[in-house]
Structure 1
Amino acid sequence: MIFESSETSGFPVATPRAVPPSGRRPGWNKVPEVTVYFWTIKILCTTVGDTAADLLKEKAGLGLTGVSVLMSTVLAVVLAAQFRSTQYRAGVYWPTVALVSVVGTLAGDNLIDATGVTVETASSVFVIALAIVFVVWYRRERTLSIHSIDTTSRESFYWLAVLFAFALGTAAGDLVSQRLHLGYWLSAVLFGLAIAAVGLAHFQLDLDAVWSFWTVYILTRPLGASIGDYLSRPSGDGGLELGTVVTSALFLMVIVGLVVYLAATRVDVTDPEHTSRHVA
């Protein structure tokens, strides 16, 4: 399989030069262009996923299992709307990402807290789960490019990968924070440097664009969580003590503002002609 990078601002995503499979709908890609808006909202959603999950566990009175069931049900409803949509719509796609972030965080918490496994084991479980998704996805579709999410099958694999990427990012973030004892701010700097290293490897050393994208996608999860923890945690724990309510509300307002802007301007919508030029 030969890949070529998307001509878009932000982190490039590889697009396969392959014959479109039966049932494919060119120009109906179900995910946005990877621009600065994409990464900004993605990081904001990871922060909200972390703080909102903590908030729900503290305030809902349902326990970890009850909150997990509730949020999984809400996610299922929003995912149904996403699958029914015939193309990318910011007002549907990004709420789905935010809810996947919450459920992914809860999945990590359930595996670690409820079953008592170590963060090393949890990280390994999610690495294996994500690897299985990628292998099956590629064997079936011959591409992992997010510029080719234009069938129900590919979209199903995409959202499974996103879910396990969030869960892996949660476990990996906990692993780093527990083992290195860096604190929230230094942890955020560490993950930011790791993301920069992947970007440098891609642009300067021709690291494959698909794997560059998914690596950064995973790393932005602990980056956002570290930022959220730094803002919300008590000062005695190294945080700014804003609390989960204020932190979640602030980030949600920014997310809503950006999503409204994208829905109105459609600046992150894949151009059908641009897509067709890269799939041949």
Structure 2
Amino acid sequence: MTTSPARTPDAVRAALSKVPEVTLYFWVIKILATTVGETAADYLNMTLGLGLQKTTVVTVVLLAISLCAQFAVRRYVPALYWWTVLLISVTGTLITDNLTDKWGVPLTVSTVVFTVALVAVFAAWYASERTLSIHSIRTHRREAFYWLAVLVTFALGTAAGDLISERLGLGYLISLIIFVAVIAALTASHYTLRLNAVLAFWAAYIVTRPLGASLGDLLTQPADAGGLGIGATATNVAFLVVIVALVGYLSATRVDRIEQSSTEAPPRIASR
């Protein structure tokens, strides 16, 4: 019988992923964080009266600090990772809001631009690393590509979501149903038609952004605007409580850690 050579501490650290396993917890927290990102940007901008420019500056500074901390750690830390995702969600919303409200860029144009930008990021990532799998995020360069792709998906999702729900006049509820149906179709295609796992993951990741935004708008906007009128404060508090509870659970149980093997595997839409 042969035995595997002992792994050195450096080899073990190299095998530790900087991102979580794609489980049901991943998608739930992602959608909640996306919704908070949409409502928090509006809350800081309008309810607290910071204005679009100050809100953008504060968020970008916090995101820069969070990313520095994220790059500094050697492994996936649930609280830090999801805090960074939350800040990127807000930042992606603000990027689109600045282009639309401050610079007057049509949503059709920003949607196309962000789509091209995302394709360029993926192309550069694959050309450099020969993989787009999130199970391979174990170096600073791959992590940089990963977070850049995440940021662009949030900006793209915001633009596409606003374009469908507002400019096309479908409303928040119909838009939410459409995005849920798209994700269901992607999931079914992955499990029944063998749609490439990496492609299915990133497609679902993009669509969860407008899904969360539509959910946030549906909950917070007044009834005369097609919403339920719950308000941004109540929605943010409720969703943040759930996020904190889930992240605390993941920190304690470690059920979403990818650190058993250094072999690269494509991400799953959700693990069993």
TM-score relative to the length of structure 1:
0.88
- The aligned amino acid for 2:19 is V
Say whether residues 1:276 and 2:260 are aligned partners: no
Q: Is contact 1:184–1:230 with CA below 8 Å preserved after alignment?
A: yes
Equivalence for 1:85: 73
Q: Is contact 2:36–2:240 with CA below 8 Å preserved after alignment?
A: yes
- The aligned amino acid for 1:74 is L
After superposition, residues 50-89 of structure 1 pair within 5 angstroms as 50-89=38-77
- The aligned amino acid for 2:34 is T
Equivalence for 1:31: 19
- The aligned amino acid for 1:84 is A
Q: Find the partner of 1:220 among 190, 194, 208.
A: 208
Equivalence for 2:114: 126
Taking the aligned partners of 2:38 and 2:166, their CA distance within structure 1 comes to: 16
**Count of aligned pairs between the two proteins:** 256
- The aligned amino acid for 2:71 is F
After superposition, residues 174-253 of structure 1 pair within 5 angstroms as 174-253=162-241
- The aligned amino acid for 1:276 is T
- The aligned amino acid for 1:212 is A
How far is 1:106 from its partner?
0.3
1:125-173 C-alpha deviation (Å, 9 max, x unpaired): 1111111111111100110000000000000000000000000000000
The 1:157/1:48 distance shift into structure 2, 3 A limit, reads same
Equivalence for 1:12: none
Identical positions, percent: 54
Structure 1 unmatched runs, 5+? 1-22
CA RMSD of aligned residues (A): 1.6
How far is 1:230 from its partner?
0.8
Taking the aligned partners of 1:219 and 1:36, their CA distance within structure 2 comes to: 16
How far is 1:255 from its partner?
0.4
Structure 2 unmatched runs, 5+? 1-10, 267-272
Runs (4+) of structure 1 moved beyond 6 Å?
A: none
Q: Find the partner of 1:148 among 136, 158, 167.
A: 136
1:41-85 C-alpha deviation (Å, 9 max, x unpaired): 000000000000000001343321111011000011111111111
- The aligned amino acid for 1:167 is A
Taking the aligned partners of 2:12 and 2:115, their CA distance within structure 1 comes to: 29
Q: Is contact 1:166–1:218 with CA below 8 Å preserved after alignment?
A: yes
Taking the aligned partners of 2:259 and 2:57, their CA distance within structure 1 comes to: 38
Q: Is contact 2:96–2:110 with CA below 8 Å preserved after alignment?
A: yes
How far is 1:36 from its partner?
0.2
Equivalence for 2:87: 99
Taking the aligned partners of 2:257 and 2:175, their CA distance within structure 1 comes to: 33
1:246-280 C-alpha deviation (Å, 9 max, x unpaired): 1111101100110011111111111423x43859x
- The aligned amino acid for 2:61 is T
Of stretches 186-195 and 61-70 in structure 1, the one that deviates more from structure 2 is 61-70
How far is 1:24 from its partner?
10
Q: Is contact 2:13–2:75 with CA below 8 Å preserved after alignment?
A: no
Taking the aligned partners of 2:226 and 2:35, their CA distance within structure 1 comes to: 17
Equivalence for 1:117: 105
1:224-246 C-alpha deviation (Å, 9 max, x unpaired): 11111111110111211111111
Find the residue that maps to 2:125 and give its secondary structure. Answer: helix
Q: Is contact 1:24–1:151 with CA below 8 Å preserved after alignment?
A: no
Equivalence for 1:44: 32
After superposition, residues 13-32 of structure 1 pair within 5 angstroms as 26-32=14-20
Find the residue that maps to 1:240 and give its secondary structure. Answer: coil
Taking the aligned partners of 2:119 and 2:76, their CA distance within structure 1 comes to: 26
How far is 1:178 from its partner?
2.6
Equivalence for 2:253: 265
